Structure 1
């Protein structure tokens, strides 16, 4: 990233005061504790804030010490953390994310978070308000959203869609710097805000990604695929071997695999696993720890015979362990 001043027109703080830095950032993000670590002398800080309706850009920069950050309240918005120079190690539950030029970190509402910022760190937060994110998701799905929308916390900026989204953010920063681009739009919702919200829902995996994919592709799927998916959705915990699915769909196993690859983008086996994982997550989210079903009982209910493998697949899919989902409930 460039070392030129970032959002200079929107500067709200330039100080040699860690407490002032913490207070300034807490006003626009979540209140937190900020502890200098391995100080190298005077710590200098800068903060800039650019509001764009349902999206805000918050730029923070410090030099002179590593900083430990512990949120004292839960996040109630979506926060994409992009490194403009240096590193930020984010701990989200049991997962650690190294935010740098290749990886962004995404905080979803109610996530428990701690951070360690490198001694010279420049970070851009893209704050997106929860109602705007959920409203856009509902428009894309064509129905109300009832369960939490949770993004995968680590965003790989080397993937094409994520890279495009990050480039759009950088272009917006440049646009704000000039003062006469689309960022100055004042009639209705800022077009940049709508673009970034929509783009993030498509670029980064989250708990509704499968449903978005199904809605986009469903109208063009051949009948055998639809029949197989109906069987899977009706009873995902049953025996759903490729042979059984193919017989039900009325095609050969090889043809069914080819149809799924061409029209769903994944194999029948992976679609079965994703469906089972989604049902398991629904059960864990609704369960009461101590009185409801255990993780093992939920795994067996939905066709997983090996609990450790279920837990590993669940973590890859949702970014947290099954027990973490149960504890959160």
Structure 2
């Protein structure tokens, strides 16, 4: 995994906008008084799983941004206001950005530093630890669980932005992997999410039974085909009832729920890669992956990703 480093400063708003958009999807801002003094500075260090960012903007402005595509825990300067939907985030503490559109405002200047981790990588680690192949991590709040969790997260973030960011540490593959695992563990331990009550696998990660592996492989191979529980059970060499019981016990969801999640993921990939010139539509993509009822597809998609399919398509 290659490491990227970047540090720059500018007094040009257009330059700032282009750079920040590379870190925060769909970011835009409007200054109060375009003739007022403006400056920004940014630094970035990361690989495809873990990134550390610092940002300093000198201006008075309002900003908007698309939903985050990573788990992003930020600490911001006093005077900043951040809203997601109707929720105003408490910036007096470290906060986890919800996966939803963001509105922000600040006076005179804004400072922030953040720790970002790849969602898929965190979920892979959680699946290994809890021994649940289909586990998906859902955060239920943006603030740390309690003062002890906040202190723990701050200590992890301080180490990352300090000794952990030194080239002799971050550029070492083994040490960087350890940093990622520390951050992922702290994120799952310090912020409210639906894995907190799960028992760990006895050895920290067990392979799923062969029947479950066969069922998942069959689903992935026939994802765009009209398969159902009976087909999946036959491929797994279990009865439909036996497969349902095994899936709920080991994976945490039913086989059909797991199949739907796989199809929603495939549909999202198509929506993000859609070519509007060739008239890719939400309906066409939904039908491609077996969703015949588009409104129900849209509702399930929003529940899974925090936005409607047409919003993803419009990016």
TM beyond 0.5: yes
Q: What SS is found at the alignment partner of 1:209?
A: coil
* 2:211 aligned partner: none
Cα distance in 1 for partners of 2:69, 2:64 equals 15
Which aligned runs of 4 or more in structure 1 are off by greater than 6 angstroms?
288-292
Residue of structure 2 in register with 1:94 after alignment: 86
Structure 1 CA distance, aligned partners of 2:94 and 2:32?
Answer: 23
Give the whole-Å Cα distance in 2 for the aligned partners of 1:75 and 1:145. Answer: 22
Aligned with residue 113 of structure 1, among 89, 102, 112:
102
**TM-superposition CA deviations, 1:59-85 (whole Å, max 9, x none):** 11012x2232212x43221111112x3
Whether 1:69 and 2:63 are equivalent positions in the alignment is: yes
Matches within 5 A, 1:217-232: none
Whole-Å Cα distance in 1 between the matches of residues 95 and 105 of structure 2? Answer: 13
Structure with the bigger percentage of strand:
1
With over 3 angstroms needed to count, the CA separation of the structure-2 counterparts of 1:161 and 1:28, relative to structure 1, is: same
Which stretches in structure 1 are left out of the alignment for 5+ residues? 1-8, 219-281, 293-323
1:167 shift after superposition: 1.5
Deviation at 1:289, TM superposition (A): 11
- 1:173 corresponds to which residue? 161
Q: Distance in 2 between matches of 1:176 and 1:17?
A: 31
Distance 2:142 2:98 in 1: 11
Structure 2 CA distance for aligned equivalents of residues 203 and 40 of structure 1: 43
- Tell me the equivalent position of 2:133: 144
CA drift at 1:184: 3.4
1:77 to 1:178, Cα distance in 2 relative to 1, 3 A: closer
Q: CA offset at residue 201 of structure 1?
A: 0.4
Q: Normalised by the size of structure 1, how large is the TM-score?
A: 0.56
In the aligned structure 2, how far is the partner of 1:217 from the partner of 1:177? 32
Q: TM-score, normalised by structure 2?
A: 0.58
CA RMSD of aligned residues (A): 3.6
- Give me the whole-angstrom Cα distance separating, in 2, the residues matched to 1:114 and 1:70: 4
CA contact (8 A) 2:170 2:176 kept: no
